[in-house]
Amino acid sequence: MAAAAALVAAVFGLSAAPASAVSGNGLRTMDFYAYAEAGETVAVSFARVTNVTVVQPDGTEVFTCSTQPCTYAGTAPMSGVWLVRYVESSDNLSVWSVTVRDADDVPIPGRVWAEQYAISNTGFGPRTFTATYLSEFGVQYRSQFTGHVGWVFHIAASNRGVMFNDGSCLSAYRSVPEAGMVEAANPPLAAMNGDDYTTVGDCADKGLVRYRIFLGEEPAPDMPASTANWADGRTAQQWVLPEYQNPTIGDLAFSRAVGGLGGTITGTLSGQSGTVRVLLDFDGDGTADPEDRAFDVATGVGAFSVNWDGLDGLGEPVPASTGFRVFVELTAEAEIHFLESDVEGRTGGIQVTRLNGPGAPDSRLSWNDSYLPAARATTTSPLSADRVDSTGGVHAWGFNGNGWGNGRIIDDWMYIYPSANAEIVVAGEPDTSGGPALAPTGASSGGVAAAVAGAVLLLGAVVVSTRRRTRRRPA
């Protein structure tokens, strides 16, 4: 076992990791992807199992396991992404490896990834490992997991994490029970039903981004930005190693509804998908007052629109003669949620660092476990945190069969703020009574450096300290 684990460590660049690293042994059903150039070799080895399939980039199934161990090595006939599918529903500690090798049979690090890892460990042995996360917009994070213990636990990541299961595709910014599980009320905390939340949902058209996970290494820098050759035949999400893309908001406009009450705010989000916040400032004072209206919309890259019913924040109609300011922002740039489900122990916690983008490196991490009601044999402290330094590991708890993470989805997140924003001033329609109306000033848009002064005052100083945090952690 030690020799096999050492081999896998070398394959995945985990020479500094202990022999129990998750890349070495113990998996449930999952898919691996491997990028190989024409003439390179894709090598696969799974011990004591007979349920592995290998598909080359043109969709040809080149290997199906029928004997133990399952081993395969094949030369890539073209450049592209291979699929290695492993199917296993029983608990096991089978040793595995997936690697890409050059013409001299030397392993090439950073060529193998997955979108989730299902880790099996029937002996509840602690796992310590590293991973690098990559999004389609070029964002990269590196994580260190220390002392994570679970019979079978899963790790994944997206830009939304745990979402409300109401079709909005908006992040709930909290840890929750797993789907199908209900935790009883524990006054003053209410009961929680895992089915009220989702980590998947039908959210692709609303900008849900799943990060790709490279165990023990960073993505190989020689990979292309994208390739059309994918083993699973996909025609979208063909990115491989894109450069970092800065988000911008442009084309901001307002059109009044027929009759003059309310209207529609439209714009375009470029660079990164995310959640767009639209704030209507009716008195134009640059602060978010109770009378103002705010809308959050989950959107992909491209056009977005928000319908306004003509009411202010207190439910009163806003006359068409009233001019107002429209502020729009991307609530979080390079957002990522680290999802870990059914992990009974996390004795060393998690450490995460953003590797690129504005202000990198950045190791500030947030979480909110304060909604979880049921008492457990172990707990975590503090229950919630907002952008604390994760260096050395945070958000930890002791191991127990009914530990803090048992049967739960634990959500930790990071983001850049402030981000892209834009502003326009909407003139009121002529008022025969002589009431004042704001004159239009045109529109402005762009990233942080190009932000309008009024937008920075309102969105940076007020929304981030009041609206944004209130939405994420309601009282």
The token pair that represents 18 in the structure block: 């202990």
- C-alpha 160/C-alpha 342 separation (Å) is 19
pLDDT band at 20 (very low <50, low <70, confident <90, very high): very low
What's the pLDDT at 433? Answer: 56
What's the pLDDT at 2? Answer: 34
Higher-pLDDT residue of 41, 152? 41
- C-alpha 4/C-alpha 386 separation (Å) is 41
Q: CA of 472: how far to CAs of 21, 167, 331, 367, 391, in Å? A: 34, 18, 11, 10, 23
- Cross-strand bridge partners of residue 53: 64, 85
What's the pLDDT at 429? Answer: 86
pTM tops 0.75, yes or no: yes
What residue ranges do the domains of the chain occupy? Answer: 2-235+356-412, 248-333+418-472
- AA letter at 191: A
DSSP secondary structure string for all residues of 388-436 = EE-TT-BS-B---TT-TEEEEEEEEEEEE-S--EEEEEEPPPP-TT---
What's the pLDDT at 94? Answer: 75
Q: Tens of pLDDT along 159-209?
A: 999 999 999 999 999 999 999 999 999 999 999 999 999 999 899 999 999
Contact status, residue 336 vs residue 292, Cβ threshold 8 Å: no
pLDDT at 340 over 50: yes
CA neighbor of 166 nearest in space, from 217, 192, 201, 190: 201
Rounded to an integer, the average pLDDT of 308-327 is 95
Rg for the chain, CA atoms, rounded:
25
* Percentage of residues of the chain with pLDDT beyond 90: 72
End-to-end CA distance of the chain: 50
Based on the number of CB atoms within 10 Å of its own CB, is 71 exposed (0-12), middle (13-18) or buried (19 or more)?
A: middle
What's the pLDDT at 130? Answer: 93
What's the pLDDT at 24? Answer: 59
pLDDT band at 96 (very low <50, low <70, confident <90, very high): confident
pLDDT at 121 over 80: no
Contact status, residue 149 vs residue 235, Cβ threshold 8 Å: no
What's the pLDDT at 81? Answer: 98
pLDDT at 468 over 60: no
CA dihedral of 163, 246, 350, 377, whole degrees rounded to 10: -10
Count Cβ atoms below 10 Å from residue 100 Cβ, excluding itself: 22
**CATH number assigned to the domain with residue range 248-333+418-472, chosen from the 4 options 2.60.40.10, 1.10.10.60, 3.30.70.270, 3.40.50.620:** 2.60.40.10
Backbone angles phi, psi at 8, to 5 degrees: -65, -40
Of the listed ranges 68-72, 256-260, 298-302, 420-424, the one predicted with least confidence? 256-260
pLDDT at 5 over 60: no
- AA letter at 310: G
CB proximity list for 423: less than 8 A, separation 6 or greater: 252, 325, 326, 327, 328, 443, 444, 452, 454, 455
Q: CA of 27: how far to CAs of 218, 350, 417, in Å? A: 21, 21, 37
